[in-house]
Amino acid sequence: MEGIDALVPPEMAKKAEDVGVKKASLDAGRAVALGVLAGTFIALGACFMTTVTAGAAQSSWPPGVVRLFGGVAFSLGLVLVVIGGAELFTGNNLLTMAWASRRITTASLARNWALVFLGNSVGAFGMVALIVLSGQPKLLGGAVGAQAIAIAKLKMHESFVEAFVLGVLCNVLVCLAVWMAFSARTTVDRVVAVVPPIAAFVTTGFEHNVANLYLLPVALFAAHEPTVQQAASLDGVPDWLTVGRMAMNLVPVTLGNMVGGGLLVGATYWTIYLRRS
């Protein structure tokens, strides 16, 4: 039927540029509020993923398959962002396309990223509080909390370079998911475009800063629960599970996300489709 064909890449690039201009022009209150929604949505996806993969060490399934299940579950977060409408820092790294075309200024680019990241942080931390107060980490005999701690342990023992590169790779996939969603004409199109790249980045262990704003703090609080400690075979809160170590993960991951999304995806497609000679 005429009028329902998916957009082709040159049209997607123009749409991404136009969307970037609109995002950069959001007033501060709306940008932060939409950022809170996105942080909450990503945290919900991370909580779903943690629950789905709880008890994986005792499972007869191959570890990679279990991680794939978790990746599909986590994709709920970006599906909610794209379809429900929200502002996600990693997806907004594509604003570099509008910036490169000089349709937005450096100041407006930095302003949007700062406001959205603030909102994402509030949303993620808010979900941490709700999940901890609900006792959800004690689910399945503490296996959910134990899985959160296991996930945090892997993340907080990466070197700066490892965390940075994992962040680069992650946001290549996240921004490709957003990029493909620009071609969609229907809600189903958007879901189909989003799920595979997001499932891939979770399965392969790449690093997403907003997801980590939920996953790392929730592990810290879960580690104080006796039920979770027993399920995780811990004598107390691990000495590596500290706010300082969380920051040592979040800084390189955030920088890597910016390079992966803003440069390797945004700048590449801008150069191919939007650069004027």
For position 2, what pLDDT does the model report?
A: 42
- Give the other-Cβ count within 10 Å of 166's Cβ: 24
State how far the Cα of 186 lies from the Cα of 181, in Å rounded to an integer. Answer: 10
Q: Which residue has the tokens 């398959």?
A: 65
pTM above 0.75, yes or no: yes
The tally of CA atoms less than 13 A away on the side-chain side of residue 66 is 15
Per-10-residue mean pLDDT, the chain, length 277: 69 95 97 98 98 86 93 98 97 97 97 98 98 96 96 96 98 97 93 97 97 98 96 93 96 98 97 86
Chain centre to alpha carbon of residue 167 = 10
Q: Which residue has the tokens 């940075």?
A: 164
Angle, helix 209-222 to helix 106-134, in steps of 10 degrees: 30
**pLDDT tens for each residue of 113-139:** 999 999 999 999 999 999 999 999 999
**pLDDT tens for each residue of 40-67:** 999 999 999 999 999 887 778 898 999 9
Domains of the chain: 11-273 (1.20.1080.10)
Structure token pair of residue 113: 């990223």
For position 213, what pLDDT does the model report?
A: 98
Q: What is the residue-wise DSSP string for 106-127?
A: HHHHHHHHHHHHHHHHHHHHHH
For position 60, what pLDDT does the model report?
A: 80
For position 4, what pLDDT does the model report?
A: 58
For position 3, what pLDDT does the model report?
A: 46
Q: Which residue has the tokens 């100041």?
A: 107
State how far the Cα of 6 lies from the Cα of 104, in Å rounded to an integer. Answer: 27
Chain centre to alpha carbon of residue 40 = 11
